Amino acid sequence: MRAVQVVGYHRTLQMTEVPQPEVTSPFDVVVRIGGAGVCRTDIHILEGQWADKTGVALPYTIGHENAGWVHAVGDAVTTVSVGDKVILHPLMTCGLCRACRLGDDVHCDNSRFPGIDTDGGYADFLRTTARSVVRIDDSLEPADVAALADAGLTAYHCVAKAARATRPGDVCVMIGAGGLGHIGIQVMKAISGATVVVVDRNADAVKLALDIGADYGIVADGSHVKQVLDLTGGRGAEAVVDFVGEGGATAEGVAMLRRAGSYFVVGYGENIDVPTIDIISTEISFIGNLVGSYTDLQELMVLAAQGKVTLHTTTYPLDQFQRAIDDLDAGAVRGRAILVP
């Protein structure tokens, strides 16, 4: 089968022929890929940012946002059947460690992460486990929802926390209305009564944010912190969700936060530089967010089936993987780029 692989850091990806994965254990599920999301993390992988963290052996197949159709199952699999439409939780988890038994499978002691530390979905087929497959509604197509497997899941995981930390009438500022942000906006409007204020440097992204439900859209033109403070009577927002995490976004986000507010970090790339006395005296909180649980993904797919969360996508044939990567890196993709085998 075809597979797009990392053959070296600071080098371009390469498509090659590799053996098609087969069922080798009772709980294996082999999926025919219908869509694989192209994520900025894939660019960070090529830059070598994850090399020491994962220790993955090269070459390997990239791609961690995957959906498709069940192609084959192990003897013990009872939750899905051949032909079912599925989206794949990005982690393969053990189900036996303390975290898994607490329902916190994001932090499984024995997890593997297809596309990050083992073969992923920039390919015709992918092998995962029964614990990682979520059946999707017949009204949904794999290519339309694939990026919800990570970008959508991460956005949901974070925004669900922000929703629990806010009340109707509170203000939630979202920094960034791109691939993750445009999903987070829809989730927040679906599950919370908070007022959603979106800040982005790109005027088109701000327009998209307003089109999909944001209450206010602000272009980050240097006056955006003041505009947020003016909207909140000078107090700042109860919650800030930062989908950017670089380019000065964190300092601006903290400046938008009110006393006892919560700052939810999703994007990454720079350090948060806040004097500890300011954290103590204002009792602000910083909360990190990585992917989401299996049940988070199930809940997100309910919202997708209800039409409350819709991905804005640009599709590329699998053999145009490099164009997809280049377009994403250049900021030319509104929403999410999806590779379709």
Which tens digit of pLDDT belongs to each residue from 225-261? 999 999 999 999 999 999 999 999 999 999 999 999 9
| Residue 70, pLDDT score | 98
Q: How far is CA 330 from CA 119, 213, 226, in A?
A: 26, 26, 29
Type of residue found at 73: V
pLDDT category of residue 179 using cuts at 50, 70 and 90 = confident
Question: Closest Cα partner for 219 from 232, 205, 236, 201?
Answer: 201
| Residue 221, pLDDT score | 96
Task: Tell me the pLDDT tens digit for each residue of 117-174.
Answer: 999 999 999 999 999 999 999 999 999 999 999 999 999 999 999 999 999 999 999 9
Task: Tell me the pLDDT tens digit for each residue of 42-65.
Answer: 999 999 988 888 889 999 999 999
Q: d(Cα 202, Cα 222) in Å, to the nearest integer? A: 13
DSSP conformation letters of 313-334: EEEEEGGGHHHHHHHHHTT--S
pLDDT category of residue 331 using cuts at 50, 70 and 90 = confident
Question: Closest Cα partner for 116 from 71, 175, 57, 158?
Answer: 57
Give the rounded percent of residues in the chain with a pLDDT score beyond 70: 100
Sign of CA dihedral 228, 232, 233, 238: negative
| Residue 333, pLDDT score | 86
Q: What is the DSSP letter of 95?
A: S
The contacts of residue 71 (CB under 8 Å, 6+ apart) are 30, 31, 32, 82, 125
Q: d(Cα 42, Cα 108) in Å, to the nearest integer? A: 22
| Residue 121, pLDDT score | 98
Cα atoms found within 13 Å of the Cα of residue 71, Cβ hemisphere only: 16
Q: How far is CA 52 from CA 49, 141, 242, 311, in A?
A: 8, 36, 25, 32
Q: How far is CA 85 from CA 22, 31, 68, 184, in A?
A: 18, 9, 6, 24
- pLDDT above 80: residue 335: no
Q: How far is CA 99 from CA 95, 102, 295, in A?
A: 8, 5, 14
Q: What share of the chain is helix, strand, coil (3-state, %, to 5)?
A: 30, 25, 40
- pLDDT above 80: residue 312: yes
- pLDDT above 90: residue 78: yes
DSSP conformation letters of 139-178: T--HHHHGGGGTHHHHHHHHHHHHHHH--TT-EEEEE--S
Domains detected in the chain: 2-150+292-300+311-340 (3.90.180.10), 153-288 (3.40.50.720)
Mean model confidence pLDDT for the chain: 95
